[in-house]
Every structure is written in structure tokens, then in C-alpha cells.
Amino acid sequence: MDRNSRLGILLIAPLLLLMLVGFVLPIGATAFKAFANPEVSAALPRTTVALDRWTGEGMPDEAVFAAFVEDLQSPQDNRTFGALIRRMNFEQSGMRSRLSGARRAAPDLEAPYSVSLIELDPAWGTPDIWQLLRTHSNPYTATYMLRSMDLRIEPAGNIVAVDPNMAVFRELFVRTFVISIWVTVFAVLLGYPTAWYLSTLSGRAESFALLCVLVPFWISILVRSTAWFIILQREGPINAALLFAGLIDTPQAIIFTRSAVYIAMVHVLLPFLILPLLSVMKRIRPEYVRAAASLGARPWQQFLLVYLPMTMPGVAAGALMVLMLSVGFYITPVLVGGLQDQMVSYYIAYFTNTSINLGMAAALSLLLLLLTGLLVAVASRFMPGLSTGPRG
């Protein structure tokens, strides 16, 4: 390896390290957490071994009951047992009270435990509860990924659909991508003429117009979303202006609607479309359009056949950027949208901060990443200029 090659490696090493630390490792950790399932094996190690010897048919023998009671009687960190309770209660409602009651009564239970434990709670006399523990005693499982697709693993190990009243995630992902696609469409419809007008300016007018685009871009998303929360209120300036103009008789409910989400998200993300599109439009030589005019093309033909195809790389790059940012939006829908307008990020935050179910949060994050990657792959196949980049 010559000196120039070593120098080149040293120059790109910080970038590679940044990608490793800031991109590869977090995604790897998220994927690991989405499939990790250590709660049962950590809190009930003896029970895990005993259940592994059980065939899963009928009731387990006394050895399983004895191992379970021994695990409950052994001193262990409350945090470990609390993680077990949350995990099992997530899979089956009522497990919190059963496990907590069994742990409190464990020091007073006497052999045979297959009798005394069932006398304490008849639920321990059903095979389903032991099959549930057996199914989730494996330290790695696809349970969270299945649940993020409204599927679950039965105690017997079969994969089935969740109850209809608990099936929320498929609709959630559809809603997320529907909102993101419409935001992208609205951004293109508003951003394209804006970018074209900016491309026709020069001198101070261009600097001032570009500053009007960049100033909101520099302001925090939280500040801009909060501003829309105030503007869209029933007593806000928009309703006041409509009332003053006589267009409405009573204030309209704009806030906490899907329309409010579209308005605020498009405003926040519009610069991400205008800036790459403007850079492409600035590089288009006016001679091309004039040549089309000299050949007899009408204005709409000049636009559709010459100008629009040359700007498509900028449209594709900007639209893809807006779409990828939209699918992960959290603050704006939370502030201005209703419960039926929340996106996947809302539930990722819920499982992270409220229910403390990091496995479910990781599964939703990983599935969102995979679906977004699939969407990008499809877009790169059908959107001209996306894979080759902007051309002038």
C-alpha cells in the first residue's frame, strides 16, 4: 500500500467511524432488542430449564412446579422480576396479579407444589399458563416483531392474528405512510412553483427570497409546531380572519384534525423540497426552453417536454427527503393532531417512556426502517433521476 492510499484511508477513517457509531451500531442494537427476550430466563432460570424438558402437552410434572416456586423463593432483584411481570402481562392480561401473588405466597407454600400453588390460584392448574412461560423462556423470539404486525404466538406456539380490538399496528403503519405520502404531494405542489420563482430571481431579490425560505428552516421544529398549535385554535388568527371576512359564521375546529397535521408538517418540511429543487433549476440553461420555443413548441409543451423532465432529479431528491422525514415525525402530529392522526413515532415514544417496553419500541422502529427502505427501493426504481442524482 503506497503513501497516497494510506493517506486516503486516514482521511475517510473519521467518516467511517461516524457511520459505524451513529448508524450501524444503533441499527444493530435496535434489531437485537427487537428479538431479545431475556425476561423469563433471567427471572426464572430453574423454571426455564425444567420447562425445556417438558413436552408441552398436558400439565407439567411436579419438577416444573418445584423449580418455579424455588425461583420465586430465591432472592432476586425487584427490577428483574418487574421486567418479567411487564413482559408476561403484555402477552396475557392478568399475569401481573398472578405472578405477584405467587411471589408473595411462595415462602409459605409447601410440597407438593403442584397442589399448593393451584390452591393459591386455580389458573396455575391450566396448561396454557405454563405453555406461555415455556414459549417465552427462549432468550430470543420474534414475538415483538409479530405483535408489530398484529400477530401473536399462542401458548401452544402457533402464530395467529390478535383480537380485532387489539389490532392497531397495521392500521397505524398504513396511516403513517398515507399521511407521509400526502405531505410529500402537497410539498411538491407548493414547493415546485416556489422553487421556479426563486430560480428566476437574481441579486438582492434572490437573496431576500432565499432568506425567507431559510429563516423558518433554521427555527426549531418544536417552535414552529407550537406556533401552528396557536394559529389553528378556534380562537386563533385563522378563524378570526375567516370570521372577519364573513366566510364563516362560527369558529371552525381546525386544530386536532388531519388537516392541521398536513398544514403544519408541510410548512416544516417544505424547505427540504425547495432547496434541492432550486439547485437543479438554477443549473438548467434557458437556451433549452428557447430552443423548444423556436421549434414551435407551445408554452405548456415547453414545460412538459423540456423543463419538467430536466427538473425531475430535483423533484425526486426533494420528495424522497420529505417522505423519509415525514414517516418519523413525532412532535408535530402530537401537538396539532388528534388521537386518530398519530403516527408510528407516537407509539414508539409510548413504549419507550410510558409502558417501558423497549422490545416493542425496537420492533416498531425496525419495521418502520424496513418499510421505509422498501419504499426508497421502489422509488429509486420508478422515480427518474433518483438513483443517478441531479443533472443540469
pLDDT, average across residues 115-133: 93
pLDDT, average across residues 306-317: 91
CB 105 within 8 A of CB 120: yes
pLDDT of residue 56: 83
Q: What is the pLDDT of residues 150-195, one digit of tens each?
A: 998 887 778 899 888 888 999 999 999 999 999 999 999 999 999 9
Domains of the chain, by residue range, sit at 39-137, 171-382
pLDDT above 70: residue 392: no
Q: What is the pLDDT of residues 230-251, one digit of tens each?
A: 999 988 899 999 898 888 888 8
Give the percent of the chain with pLDDT over 70: 97
SS (H, E, C) 217-282: HHCCHHHHHHHHHHHCCCCCHHHHHHHHHCCCCCCCCCCCCHHHHHHHHHHHHHHHHHHHHHHHHH
pLDDT of residue 335: 92
1 pLDDT band, cuts 50/70/90, is low
Find the range with the poorest average confidence among 13-27, 50-64, 187-201, 328-342. Answer: 13-27
pTM, two decimal places: 0.86
pLDDT above 50: residue 197: yes
A 10 A CB-CB count for 378 gives: 10
71 pLDDT band, cuts 50/70/90, is very high
pLDDT, average across residues 188-203: 93
What does the alpha-carbon distance between residue 345 and residue 335 come to, in Å, rounded to a whole number?
13
pLDDT of residue 343: 95
391 pLDDT band, cuts 50/70/90, is very low
Nearest residue to 39 via CA among 2, 81, 102: 81
Q: What is the mean pLDDT of the chain?
A: 89
pLDDT of residue 253: 86
What does the alpha-carbon distance between residue 318 and residue 320 come to, in Å, rounded to a whole number?
5
CB 42 within 8 A of CB 371: no
CB 178 within 8 A of CB 258: no
pLDDT of residue 196: 94
pLDDT of residue 150: 94
CB 368 within 8 A of CB 153: no
pLDDT above 50: residue 35: yes
pLDDT, average across residues 84-113: 92
Q: What is the pLDDT of residues 248-295, one digit of tens each?
A: 888 888 899 999 999 999 999 999 999 999 999 999 988 888 888 888
Long-range contacts: 74-82, Cβ < 8 Å, 24+? 76/43, 80/39, 80/42, 80/43, 81/43
Q: Residue 112: is the preceding peptide bond cis (ω within 30°)?
A: yes
57 pLDDT band, cuts 50/70/90, is confident
pLDDT of residue 384: 55
DSSP string, 195-228: HHHHHH--HHHHHHHHHHHHHHHHS-HHHHHHHH
pLDDT, average across residues 203-212: 89
pLDDT, average across residues 31-43: 93
- Choosing among 1.10.10.60, 1.10.3720.10, 3.40.50.2300, 3.30.200.20, the CATH entry for 171-382 is 1.10.3720.10
CB 232 within 8 A of CB 258: no
Q: What is the pLDDT of residues 353-383, one digit of tens each?
A: 988 899 999 999 999 999 998 988 887 777 6
Give residue 296's identity as a one-letter amino acid code.
G
Q: What does the chain come to in residues?
A: 392
What does the alpha-carbon distance between residue 374 and residue 205 come to, in Å, rounded to a whole number?
41
